[in-house]
Amino acid sequence: MDNNVLRNIALSYSPMIDRQRSVVATRLTVSALRTGVPMQADQLLAAIAEVWPEGGARVSLNIMSETLLNDLLRATPLSNVMIEIPSFIACDPANTQALLSLRGTTLLLHGRPTSTLPRELLPCFKYSIIDLADDRRRNEVPGQAATRPARSVGFIQSGVRTVSEMEASFARGAVAILGWPIEDVVTQSGSRAGQPDLAVLVELIRRVDDGDDVDKLDAVLKRDPALAFQLMRYINSPAFGLSVEISSFRHAIMLLGYKRLKRWLALLLATASKDVNMRPVMYASVRRGLLMEQLIANTGDEEIRGEVFICGVFSLLDRLFNKPFHELLQTIPVPERVYQALVEGTGPYHPYLELTKAVETETAPVINELAEGLLMSLLEVNRAVLGTLTMAAQLE
């Protein structure tokens, strides 16, 4: 991953989510932050291939540098790499031949064309990405679509902010949406966000924190076999890096110890909701924990890595439980530095949490500013982002 292009860009990501609320691809936004620096697409593709190898999960590249995008149009991406082509580039006759040569690559037309798209290019695009604010059909009522001409290509909706907008987009035929209306999902879910089995996890975390013996912990977990299975699946995933398979909760405690086990209980707590609309929120929780851990990987000891992981994973618990942090953390024990970041917005972990949020929201200047505040280079941040996405793919 150590190549020149990663030194001069800011990477950010967001999920592409289908109507079943499953993450079908990751959108990777690439923003150039160093003007006048030549960047090569093959270096970017090499870094991406380490995260999304041939035949792996899909990634959609949103390239914010016209120079880098033009170079990418003349490269050979892997089959699972989708490239977003801004409509103004697609409509420029100077790019027609380059786009035609990419027929084996999945192209997404980004934005509504302001001029005529060459007819021969239409079959090159698998989907179009249409922002809700620019969608001329956003006010359609049920049944009205039948009176309009069918869309020539399927579409992915961006700019969705509420659950009702999301549902309306899918009703109009959207194959997916970009991003997720987290705040509105929580409002719509209400008390359904907290599931009864979450109480088992809270009790387990408290008992692990108190150092209860293995038999007591095992008895608590046996009250929910589904959670026990999920815990074993996480611990045995490639992301955990163990050389032997763990066959039982007792075995996990013996091999891992209480501190390492607590991080995986924290992960389960953030991913145990059965509400389908909470899936992308849980997706974000996992990635926040992994990214925060990756950001301090070279500077922190094992205890600090465990704490920042829990900080990131817990950073959306207020949404999942629909309760403020100061109330939630009265029942769930967390280290003091985690409490400072989540409740008070202070402490040594808070800047890392803010940087993690910036990576999610595709705000490149903010990413750069926060990285500088932490004395981190863009290369270090980008390597952490790609490492996070690699580990997240191993957990799914």
* Chain segment 182-220, per-residue pLDDT in tens: 766 655 554 444 444 667 778 888 888 888 888 888 788
Which CATH number belongs to the domain containing residue 352 in this structure? 1.10.3210.10
Q: Do both 279 and 348 map to the same domain? A: yes
Do 175 and 26 lie in one domain? The reply is yes
Is 311 part of a structural domain of the chain? yes
Range of the domain at 283: 191-395
**239 occurs within a structural domain:** yes
* Same-domain pairing of 140 and 271: no
Q: What residue type is 289 in one-letter code?
A: G
DSSP helix, strand, coil percent of the chain (3-state; round to 5)? 55, 15, 35
- pLDDT tens track for 288-330: 999 999 999 887 688 898 889 889 988 988 887 778 899 988 8
* Token digits of residue 228: 């026990």
Q: Which CATH number does the domain housing residue 128 bear?
A: 3.20.20.450
Q: What pLDDT does residue 1 have?
A: 43
Beta carbons of 291 and 385 less than 8 angstroms apart: yes
Record the tokens describing residue 292, joined without a space: 């925060």
Which residues does 355 contact at the CB level (< 8 Å), separation at least 6? Answer: 295, 367, 370, 371, 374, 381
Asked which of 152, 179, 206 is the last residue of a domain, the reply is 179
In a domain, 185, yes or no: no
Distance (Å, rounded) from C-alpha 86 to C-alpha 146?
28
Length of the chain: 396
Alpha helical stretches, state H, the chain: 41-51, 66-72, 87-90, 96-100, 163-171, 182-189, 198-210, 214-221, 225-235, 249-256, 258-270, 279-295, 302-314, 317-321, 325-328, 336-339, 350-360, 364-373, 378-395
213 and 170 within one domain: no
Whether residue 208 is found in the same domain as residue 139: no
For the chain, the domain total comes to 2
**Has residue 11 been placed in a domain?**
yes
Domain end call among 179, 201, 216: 179
The 10 Å CB-count burial string (b at 16+, else e) for 247-273 is eebeebbeebebeebbbbbbbbbbbbb
d(CA 127, CA 140): 20
Indicate whether 18 and 99 sit together in one domain.
yes
Do 168 and 205 belong together in one domain?
no
The pLDDT of residue 288: 93
Q: What is the pLDDT of residue 386?
A: 93
Extract the tokens encoding 106. 């999945």
pLDDT value at residue 149: 60
Does some domain include residue 87?
yes
Residue 186 domain flag? no
Domain match, 20 and 142 both: yes
Shared domain check, 129 and 98: yes
The full DSSP string for 378-395 is HHHHHHHHHHHHHHHHHH
pLDDT for position 371:
95
Residue 184 lies in a domain: no
Residue 344 CB coordination number (10 Å)? 11
Q: Please indicate, yes or no, whether residues 34 and 75 belong to a single structural domain of this protein.
A: yes
Q: Are residues 273 and 326 in the same domain?
A: yes
Of the three residues 139, 154, 179, the one that is the final residue of a domain is 179
Q: What pTM value is reported for the model?
A: 0.83
Q: Is residue 244 part of a domain?
A: yes
Three-state SS at 178: strand
Predicted confidence at residue 28, as pLDDT, reads 95
Residues of the chain under the 70 pLDDT cut = 1-3, 141-150, 183-198, 226, 239-241, 300, 395-396
Closest CA to 295 of 358, 242, 353: 353
Q: Are residues 31 and 137 in the same domain?
A: yes
